[in-house]
Amino acid sequence: MEQQHSINIVNSSFLIGMPILALVSVIFYSLEYGISWTEPIIFVGFYLACGLSITAGYHRLFSHRTHKAAWPMRLFYALFGAAAFQNSAIKWCSDHRRHHSKTDKEEDPYTVKKGFMWAHMGWVMVEQEEEVVEHVDDLYADPILAWQDRNIFLIGFLVGIVLPGAIGYLAMGSLQGFLGGMIYGGFLRVVVVHHATFLINSAAHTWGTQPYSTANTSRDSPILSFLTFGEGYHNFHHTFQADYRNGHKWYHWDPSKWWISVASWFGITKDLHRIPKTTIESRRMKTAFQKQAEGEHVSSELQDRLTGCVQQMRKGLSELMKRREEYKAAKQERKKESKEAWKRRKEAHKARIRECKLRIDQARLEFKQIMKSFKLNNQTVSLPA
């Protein structure tokens, strides 16, 4: 790195000392007491609570406002987000919003352009010339987050270290229980959650694919999603920041979106924002074409075919969603009709849905033909901006 930085003693001591403390403590405890089912259960419970508080809370709710949450959920995120020892939600979101507005630039606080380890944890271990907290007036207006910001270290210590120890004591009724809960639910869990979430800044900008945009270093990695509560679909996230999902398909591993979605069934979360399928699919097509066309020439005819293909895809998907809504509404009124009348009406709805799917399939086939034509021919007209 060209820029010289001085070491932040407090942060560096914590990030280096905590793994050492966790390792020594786990070895000592295991040799002295062994391990029962209690310690792993406490670890998993606090791992999930703190990890989701960062990904679903700090990230998707507070930073990007992808949905709304009732005060009990916001309080939960404030408590266990503090226990994750990644600063207050207000300061975390300030850095993250700057990261998105200045991705890969010098102003990006954890740009991977300065190296993998800088993005992973190095940026936290150095002194910044001046701590800048900006673009978070909406968060200061939340009394829960303002309270958390004022008391972040006390809350972190009580919820992140003392509470798992207390739960261990209640479960096992001895000093052993307190130590086991504190070591596994506190020390070890802090280290694991740290490096799991740190991977979003480092690995998610280094390895994976870029199906939606090549404008920055963000990448999608299903493997990384298993380690980061679903945050591994990072190229999607950087392209569609307002979506509460990172893994937008039903089979994408994304515990954070499932947590937010299930909470909405009980009214704890609401106004979950989704990017329309038409926008996602057309963006994927355009990005695939642009990647293939990079450094090459594309004829105006082929460009027109792409435009028509994207329009057909968007129209087909919009029509499909409309037809499905009509079918859903019709099923709610089926009791008003005779069995034969409903059968005819149902078949008519299904036929219209099949027609929409056929148009979508035709658009996808046309796109494959466009890509194939591009590979087979050397074009002479530059790709329009």
Give the per-residue pLDDT at 383.
41
pLDDT digit string (tens) for 331-366? 888 777 788 888 888 889 989 888 888 888 888 888
Say what the pTM is.
0.86
Q: Is the pLDDT of residue 379 over 60?
A: no
> At CA 154, angle to CA 110 and CA 40, rounded to 5?
80
Give the per-residue pLDDT at 3.
54
- As a whole number, mean pLDDT of residues 298-317 equals 80
Q: Which of 67-76, 115-124, 231-240, 354-363 has the lowest mean pLDDT?
A: 354-363
**Listed residue (191, 182, 135, 187) closest to 163, CA to CA:** 182
**Tokens read off for 120:** 């992973």
| Secondary structure in 3-state letters for the chain | CCCCCCECHHHHHHHHHHHHHHHHHHHHHHHHHCCCCHHHHHHHHHHHHHHHHHHHHHHHHHHCCCCEECHHHHHHHHHHHHHCCCCCHHHHHHHHHHHHHCCCCCCCCCCHHHCHHHHHCHHHCECCCCCCCCCCHHHHCCHHHHHHHHCHHHHHHHHHHHHHHHHHHHHHCCHHHHHHHHHHHHHHHHHHHHHHHHHHHCHHHCCCECCCCCCCCCCECHHHHHHCCCCCEHHHHHHCCCCCCCCCCCCCCCHHHHHHHHHHHCCCEECCCCCCHHHHHHHHHHHHHHHHHCCCECCHHHHHHHHHHHHHHHHHHHHHHHHHHHHHHHHHCHHHCCHHHHHHHHHHHHHHHHHHHHHHHHHHHHHHHHHHHHHHCCCCCECCC
Can you tell me the distance from the alpha carbon of 219 to that of 205, in angstroms, rounded to the nearest whole number?
A: 6
Give the per-residue pLDDT at 375.
66
Contact 197, 209 (CB under 8 A): no
Q: In this structure, what is the dihedral angle of CA atoms 92, 95, 100, 105, given to the nearest 10 degrees?
A: -150
Give the per-residue pLDDT at 381.
42
